[in-house]
Amino acid sequence: MNKRVSPEQIAEGIRSGNRRFIAKGITLLESLLPADKDNAEKLLELILPYTGNALRLGITGVPGVGKSTFIENFGLHAIEQGRKVAVLAIDPSSARGGGSILGDKTRMVHLATDPAAYIRPTPSGSMSGGVAFATREAIFVCEAAGFDLIIVETVGVGQSDVLVDSMTDCFMALMLPGAGDELQGIKRGIMEMGDIFVVNKADGERMQQARIAKMQIQQGVHLMSPKRTWWAAQTLLCSALEKQGIEEIYTLCMEFYCTASENNALQAKRREQALLWMESYIRNHLITAFFENENVQQHITAITADVQAHRISPMAAGRKMLSIYLTDRA
Ligand SMILES: Nc1nc2c(ncn2[C@@H]2O[C@H](COP(=O)(O)OP(=O)(O)OP(=O)(O)O)[C@@H](O)[C@H]2O)c(=O)[nH]1
Ligand SMILES: [Mg+2]
């Protein structure tokens, strides 16, 4: 981070929609350097009043389902409807072997060069609480910059679906058309989390399979207890490649938002999310502080050995370590 650029200047640059400053801002918020912490906090404070006005849409789907192709055409359609679109990603990078940025550059070529769109390259490094926090804060940066549709994409490995769900309003799952038994493999979590299901690649020879998949997903959804009282998950067909079904999906998203605000559900969900994020911030911070504590580090090897040799129970060992930490802090 260039020391000469103050958080005030970055905030101003973000507010004016300057891409260089948007990127600078997100990089600052992603930074794990202790030296950047104060500036990052200052920046957040400055932009916070300008956040909250976007639709936050989470999109998940296995690698190859067509997320990039879909987001390109969905994003361009949204822009035609007058929206400004930002695309962020939570991505356990190991799942992709680093090919994703190149892939997205070639697959989202029109969206990437559209003045009404901003695509943030996938954060590098392993997925951690830090990346998730940075993505949430990147949403704020994009909102302060005037983007009013924020898409957060993930490949749904590990906890990343849950994370995306915890920072977005509406959760969309892209699915592949397949035979019935493939559907068994659909994670229960996705079936419970999804607000909108999209069977992609509903084209050519896969059309019939796609129709069957749609029916089965819809049946599966009915078996779940509904996630929300005011919204029943719906399934639509799409060919992202042939640009079929995009408009209908966009309309359904808008319907989701209308229904949500009529029910005061959007603000309620965001309030709840904010509290959960605060809690998880505290939890993360405490755990880090604990393991970084010098006194803890001095004792942990011996106590670990004691636990492994059954000389002390794991609970008693935990209690002992906590008391070492707390005494040290006192
Ligand atoms: N037939 C057909 N092919 C599609 C469709 N959408 C995407 N594809 C193709 O599927 C492949 C993967 O598409 P991507 O958009 O890169 O998929 P992705 O989900 O972003 O993949 P990762 O970034 O690896 O997670 C590409 O070869 C696309 O051209 C579709 O609707 N129909
Ligand atoms: Mg992709």
pLDDT tens for 252-286 read 999 999 999 999 999 999 999 999 989 988 998 89
Instruction: Decide: helix, strand or coil at residue 263.
Output: coil
Q: Which ligand is nearest to the CA of 62?
A: 1
Q: Give percent above pLDDT 70 in the chain.
A: 88
Residue 282 CB partners (closer than 8 Å, separation 6+) = none
Q: Which amino acid is at 17?
A: G
**Cα-based distances in Å from 174 to 110, 163, 270:** 21, 17, 24
Provide the greatest CA pair distance for the chain.
69
Residue 263: predicted pLDDT: 93
Residue 66 CB less than 6 A away from ligand 1: yes
Is 90 exceeded by the pLDDT of residue 144? Answer: yes
Question: How is residue 49 annotated by DSSP?
Answer: G
Report phi then psi at 17, rounded to 5: 80, 15
Map tokens 């060992």 to a residue: 317
Question: Between β-strands 55-60 and 170-175, what pairing exists: parallel, antiparallel or unpaired?
Answer: parallel
Across residues 147-158, what is the average pLDDT? Answer: 90
pLDDT digits (tens, 9 = 90+) for 154-207: 888 778 888 899 999 999 999 998 745 555 556 677 888 899 999 999 999 999
The pLDDT-based confidence of 34 (bands split at 50, 70, 90) is confident
Across residues 20-48, what is the average pLDDT? Answer: 92
The pLDDT-based confidence of 126 (bands split at 50, 70, 90) is very low
The pLDDT-based confidence of 103 (bands split at 50, 70, 90) is low
237 touches 214 (CB < 8 A): yes
Encoded tokens for 183: 């559907």
Map tokens 């000389």 to a residue: 311
Is 70 exceeded by the pLDDT of residue 298? Answer: yes
Between 248 and 216, where is the model more confident? 248
Across residues 146-155, what is the average pLDDT? Answer: 94
Question: How much distance in Å is there from the Cα of 37 to the middle of ligand 2?
Answer: 31
Q: Which atom of ligand 1 is nearest to the CA of 100?
A: 23
The pLDDT-based confidence of 95 (bands split at 50, 70, 90) is very low
Q: Which atom of ligand 1 is nearest to the CA of 204?
A: 1
**d(C-alpha 72, C-alpha 76), whole Å:** 6
Question: How much distance in Å is there from the Cα of 161 to the middle of ligand 2?
Answer: 15
Between 104 and 262, where is the model more confident? 262
**d(C-alpha 48, C-alpha 137), whole Å:** 10
Is 60 exceeded by the pLDDT of residue 129? Answer: no
Nearest C-alpha neighbor of 227 from the set 269, 258, 195, 199:
195
Residue 98: predicted pLDDT: 44
Q: Nearest residue CA, atom 22 of ligand 1?
A: 63
Map tokens 């309309």 to a residue: 251
- The pTM (predicted TM-score) of the whole model is 0.89
Ligand 1 pocket test: pick from 60, 65, 68, 69 the residue with the most ligand atoms within 8 Å of its Cβ.
69
Ligand 1 pocket test: pick from 87, 152, 241, 246 the residue with the most ligand atoms within 8 Å of its Cβ.
241
DSSP 250-272: HHHHHHHHHHHHHTTHHHHHHHH
Residue 63 CB less than 6 A away from ligand 1: yes
Q: Nearest residue CA, atom 15 of ligand 1?
A: 66
CA triple 202-208-67, angle to 5 deg: 20
The partner residues of 157 in beta bridges, in order of sequence, read none
Share the mean pLDDT of the chain.
88
Is 60 exceeded by the pLDDT of residue 225? Answer: yes
Question: How much distance in Å is there from the Cα of 140 to the middle of ligand 1?
Answer: 29
176 touches 200 (CB < 8 A): yes
Report phi then psi at 109, rounded to 5: -65, -40
Across residues 3-23, what is the average pLDDT? Answer: 93
Question: How much distance in Å is there from the Cα of 238 to the middle of ligand 1?
Answer: 12
Is 80 exceeded by the pLDDT of residue 105? Answer: no
Between 177 and 93, where is the model more confident? 177
Residue 209 CB less than 6 A away from ligand 1: no
The partner residues of 151 in beta bridges, in order of sequence, read 57, 87
Question: How much distance in Å is there from the Cα of 67 to the middle of ligand 2?
Answer: 5
Q: Which atom of ligand 1 is nearest to the CA of 174?
A: 19
**d(C-alpha 112, C-alpha 127), whole Å:** 24
Between 182 and 5, where is the model more confident? 5
Question: How much distance in Å is there from the Cα of 312 to the middle of ligand 1?
Answer: 53
Residue 285: predicted pLDDT: 86
Q: Nearest residue CA, atom 9 of ligand 1?
A: 66
Question: How much distance in Å is there from the Cα of 60 to the middle of ligand 1?
Answer: 13
Residue 177 CB less than 6 A away from ligand 1: no
The partner residues of 170 in beta bridges, in order of sequence, read 57
Q: Which ligand is nearest to the CA of 73?
A: 1
**d(C-alpha 148, C-alpha 84), whole Å:** 5
Residue 68 CB less than 6 A away from ligand 1: yes
Residue 182: predicted pLDDT: 53
**d(C-alpha 314, C-alpha 306), whole Å:** 9
Between 76 and 120, where is the model more confident? 76
Residue 124: predicted pLDDT: 52
